[in-house]
Each structure stands twice: as C-alpha cells, then as structure tokens.
Amino acid sequence: MSYLTDRARAAGRNPEQPEAAGGQSFDDVLAEAHVTRRTMLRGSVGASLAALFGGTALNACSSDDTLVHPNLDGGGPTLGPDASVRPGTDAGIDAGPSGPYAVQFKKIARSTADTVVVPEGYSVDVLFAAGDAVVPGATPFTGTFLTSGETEKIAGGNHDGMAFFELPGVDPNKGGLLAINHEAPDLKILIASASYDRNTPDLEQRKIVLSSVGVSVIEIELKADGKWGVKANSTYNKRYTGNTEYRVSGPAASTVGPKVVGTLNNCSSGRTPWGTYLTCEETSENYLIPADSTKNSGYGWVVEIDPRGELADLPVKRTALGRFDHENIVYLLGSDNSIAFYMGDDGTPGCIYKFIPSAKFDPNNRAANANLLDLGTLYAAKFNPDGTGQWVALVQGQNGLVTGAMDPGNETQGEQPDTKIDFNAQADVLVNTKAAARVAGATLMDRPEWITVGPDKTFYCTLTNNGGRKVVHKANPRVQNLHGHIVKWTEASGSPTATTFSWEVFLLAGDPSIAKENLAGNIDGDTFSSPDGLYVDPQGRLWVQTDMNLGASGDPFRNMVDVFGNNSMYYVDPVTKKSSRFLAGPKGCEITGITHTPDLKTFFINIQHPDQGAWPSNVQDNKLPPRSATVVVRRIDGKPVGA
C-alpha cells in the first residue's frame, strides 16, 4: 500500500498513534522471536485529495515432488499461459543462484537524487508512464487535460503490482503482455487544478478519477533499437477501471450482488497457473466517492482478469477468497495438482490468509479452471509462540463463527471490549473476513503486505510497519514497529494442503544509528525501513522493495530519507541475510512491482508517486508533471539481472 492511500483511507478511521512502551529487553525479544544475536549489527484528510495524489508535500500485499511456481512476478509464475514448471526445469535455468545467476552486482550507495539509480554496468529506461496511451486509438496525456472518455483509454496512476504473461508464438524474452495495477489517481495529469473534492465531485470528475485506478494490460516488445516499448494498437491492450462492470462469483455473490461497477485501490497482485491475472483490491470502501461506500460490499476482493481475453465471464470478483485489504496473492502447486493461494491483509494490523480450492488445477485444459477460485476453504494463520503455526478454517459454524459471535477487536492495542457479530452463513464470514479471523483466533500481524515463495518452498512475508503496536507478539516482537520486519515459514511436508507450518522472524528492519532498541533492527549490510514489495526469483534470490513515508525515523534530528535515502530495492541473501542495495528511486517515490522475462535478462519495476521532484520528465526531455511509471532494468552486457 502506498502511504498516500493509507492517509486517504484514514479519513473514516481512528488512526493508531504510537505510544512509548518501555520495560522490554531487546535481547529477550530477539530470543522469543527466534532471531539470533549473530544476525544483529505513521490525522485525518480533508475533502481535497491534492496533497495525497497530486501535491508535492508527502509527509507522514515438504514433499520433494511438490511444485513451487517461482516466479515470474512474485505471484506464483508459470513460464507460459498454460504451462506448469517443475523445480529445476524452468526454461533451462539451473537451480540455485550460481553460475551466470550468482549475485555479483556492485551495490549502489544511498541516494537522494531525483532519478532511478542502478548499479554500474546496468541501464534503466522508462517504459510506460501514467497518461500513456493504452487502448488502440487512445489520445495520451501530453499536457492537455482529457475527457473521461479519453482517460478511460490511457494508463492509470500509481503503478503497483504487475505480472508478465507469455503470448503464443512470441519469444517470451522479446515480447509478451504486462498486466499492471493502478492503485490511485495521478491527479496532476487528470484535473487542471490537481485537486479533487471527493465529497462533491461532478459526474465528469468522478468518471475521470475512477478511470485512473484499476489495471492496464499492454503488449510489449523488444524493438529494433534494442529497447523495450509498448506495441501500439495491439488488440491485447486494454483498461479495466473504476468505471468497468465486474461480475461477482462465489459464496458471497448473493449478498454483494451479481455485478459491481468499479474496482479500486488495486495494490499488488498475482497470477494463476492457468494464465490469468489476479488484481487485489486493498480497500473495502470507496474513499474516492465516500457516498458510495455504504451502498454495498463491492470492494475488498480479488479480481480475476484474463490478459489474453480468451476465457468467458471475466473479469470477476472472487468472493471465496475473502474481503479485506488485499495486498498480493501467490500460490503453491502440488505434484498432484492440488493448489493453495496465500494472501496478506494490508491492515494495521491484519492477518495472513490461505485459500485451498475444493478442486485441483487442470494443467491440460485452461477453461476447466475457470471456476476453481469459487469453491474451497479460506484459512487464517495463527502463529504460536514456539515457532509452530496453524491454518484456522474460516467456515461458518466452526471456530466460533456462529450467530452471536464475539469479536475481540484489535488486541495489539491491549484488551478491547468484545463486539457482537453474527455469522449466519458463509457469506457473512467472507464479507466480514477481518472480524472472522479475529474471532477464530488468527494472529494480528504488523501490516502484512507481499508474500512470496521460493524454489525451496520457503514463504516470506513483509510486515511493513505498525507504529501503533502496544502489545508485542513473538511474531511481531516490537512495540511501535515503525520500520517493519519480515517473517518466513514452511508448510508441513511442503504441501499446499497442509494445515500446520513452522515459522521464524527472518529480519527486523531499521538502522543501528537510531538509538531506540525497537527501531535499530538487525540488518547486516544496507539498512532499510518499511519492507513492502517482496519477491524470490526462479534462482532463489530474494528482492525487497521499500515504501517508507517521508516523515519521522525515530531519530529526533533525522527524517526517513536522512537515515535511509530514497526508497529502494535490495537483494537480501536468504541464507546470510546480507542486504545489498540494487536500485534507488527518485524523490518521494515508492519502489513496487517486479516481474521479468523468463531468461532473467530484463526486469520490469514500478516507480510509484515520485511527487517530490520532476521524474520521469527530467529523463524524457518533456515538461509533464511527475508521475508514476514502469521502468526496464537490464545489464548492458546482456547477462542476467542481478549477476
């Protein structure tokens, strides 16, 4: 989640304020959290959204034969729209980060520059920016403001999660499809005043702003000049927006309704092994049009889209996967084609979820998987103090999910008064998933964002931060967790259908120069705050992207940028946990979204809300406003990225 979105959503909520909490030994916390000393070394918003989305002041989701799909996009990859890939056989890539894939790049220094910085020997190019043409015949934004009918056909704003998809008959290392999420509007290219009164928008403003969220699908290709570009007027190029109609399926469809107009807050994403794109709605309310928020339960779902446009009845909101602040979604596929999907609730706090479909994946018939995400069991994770965990079923009638259930509330703030809630049917559980997870005893985590799974079937999850936590938990070991941490787990026997797992705290973010024990962290190497984007590539290399706000660091004399530099992307060795900065973004941005070609020689990365400077106009030789964009990162010598 962009912290801009967090601020926008705060208008209708009671934000948690950090409080001092003493009396805890950091050594004790580390011991309890399974972290060894050896690894040691965020008010409300007004009616105008200008400062949020268009302004310049930004202050402040094993058995040896189990199949893992690691990873073209951090969402459980396949190497073709219908392919399944066994470990060690993906496109001829040898297992393990060795040989031509060994990490040897020269790490970069902290940066506060208004540009994207990459290692020596690398190139970076802007591929696709907010306002660029998408749909064939579209008029791009070139400085003249467009009508709602025109903005419906151009790139939305705040690029976030994305995935690369192969096309039949196309060399996937030279072309394919990119599906890109747009989390929020880039107002500076939408409205001349760069401001928007969300309480009194006229119909045209409403349509324009809602056109800037959702998803872009674009065909891309390696051009004759050796650079990647969008294939103009491709029949695959399409927008899915806040004005698009979406079918609703699954157990809660009868409550939500058969159709919903609009998607919103499309944060991160994932994919299925049958080649569809899963865009995650990171809000259950329409904060852009507050008057609409109480009308239905149409937001907060996972939306399935077919980038190739072949499957019937898509796009569709899949209610069986629960309604909460979805960040991203990844999957694990068993040798018998059983499958599970894993999700984080980017709430402060939120839970981690798992969905096991009732049917198995059919690798031989793409259409046979069309309704796979409609029937199954949704679980939430319970992290036990001893490093074990259970997946607790969120099924009406089980685990306290009954009529007259008592919701214990946000216990990270201490004991709360119970609130009565009725779970009369499974639809009630799915519409009120957050409350269901609390009632069932799932663990409230410090803002679970991206989840990723590696070739060794190890899962990692970024817990971006929770500056308001008062009560620690062994999986969330710090009060006022301003800088966040990462946890990892493995399923029992490496199975997607397992109901137990083993876990540990992998890393505590922060910087040792900050004197407070709960903010120093234990990062070995280049330090960072607020880990968000997270991805293990097919070679087992762990990439971490950050989304820290630009405010207080915990040091009274230095803000976040003073301590950590601009938001960046890091390689963190899964074994040694050594951190090396690989890429730094321009002023004010968040680094998010990562996908690549199968040969790992081209990485696509998103630069979101670079509103503190002039990027990307300062590298494109134009005078357009700063805006979000997708960039292409490659080695100049043509070898794999990261090596």
Q: Are 48 and 197 in contact (CB under 8 A)?
A: yes
Average pLDDT over residues 34-60: 36
The closest alpha carbon to 616, from 155, 194, 129, belongs to 129
Residues 500, 502, 508: CA angle, nearest 5 degrees: 135
Are the CB atoms for 159 and 278 separated by under 8 Å? no
CA angle 163, 114, 523 (to 5 degrees): 70
pLDDT at 593: 98
Q: Do 179 and 155 meet the contact criterion of CB atoms below 8 Å apart?
A: no
Alpha helices in 359-509 (DSSP H): 426-431, 433-440
**Where would I find the H helices in 214-287?**
253-256
Q: What's this model's pTM, rounded to 2 decimal places?
A: 0.89
Give the per-residue pLDDT at 383: 98
Q: What is the largest CA-CA distance in the chain?
A: 66
**Per-residue pLDDT, 26:** 28
The SS3 of residue 455 is coil
* Average pLDDT rounded to a whole number, residues 150-159: 98
Instruction: Quote the pLDDT of residue 8.
Output: 65
How far, in Å, CA of 167 to CA of 189, rounded?
A: 32
Per DSSP, the three-state class of 189 is helix
> What is the torsion angle, in degrees rounded to the nearest 10, for the CA atoms of residue 537, residue 129, residue 49 and residue 15?
10
Euclidean distance between CA atoms 314 and 279, whole angstroms: 12
Structure tokens at 95: 């297992």
Q: Which of 370, 355, 343 is nearest to 276 (CA)?
A: 370
Cβ neighbour number for residue 309 with a 10 Å cutoff: 11
CA dist., res. 174 & res. 187, Å (int) = 33
Q: What's the pLDDT tens digit per position in 203-247?
A: 999 999 999 999 999 999 999 999 999 999 999 999 999 999 999
DSSP element (H, E) containing 206: helix 203-211
- Spatial distance between the Cα atoms of 433 and 350, rounded to a whole number of angstroms: 11
Which helix or strand (DSSP H or E) is residue 376 part of?
strand 376-383
Q: Is pLDDT of 525 > 60?
A: yes
What is the average per-residue pLDDT within 475-485?
A: 97
Task: Check if the beta carbon of residue 605 is closer than 8 Å to that of residue 616.
Answer: no
Q: Which residue has the tokens 């963190």?
A: 572
Confidence (pLDDT) at 9: 62
Neighbours of 569 (CB within 10 A): 25
The per-residue pLDDT for range 482-498, each reduced to its tens digit, is: 999 999 999 999 999 99
3-state secondary structure of 383: strand
Give the confidence band of 83 by pLDDT, cuts at 50, 70, 90.
very low
Asked if the model's pLDDT at residue 77 lies above 60, the reply is no
**Mean of the pLDDT values across residues 270-275?**
98
* pLDDT, tens digit (0-9, with 9 covering 90-100), for 406-450: 999 999 999 999 999 999 999 999 999 999 999 999 999 999 999
Asked if residue 10 has pLDDT above 80, the reply is no
Displacement of CA 93 from its chain's centroid (Å): 26
Query: Which of helix, strand or coil describes residue 252?
Result: coil
Rounded Cα–Cα distance for residues 356 and 377 (Å): 5
Measured from the Cβ of residue 152, the count of other Cβ atoms closer than 10 Å reads 23
pLDDT band, very low/low/confident/very high, at 7 (cuts 50, 70, 90):
low
pLDDT digits (tens, 9 = 90+) for 549-591: 989 999 999 999 999 999 999 999 999 999 999 999 999 999 9
H or E element that contains 207: helix 203-211
Integer Cα distance of 171 and 110 in angstroms: 37
Whether the per-residue pLDDT at 48 is higher than 80: the answer is no
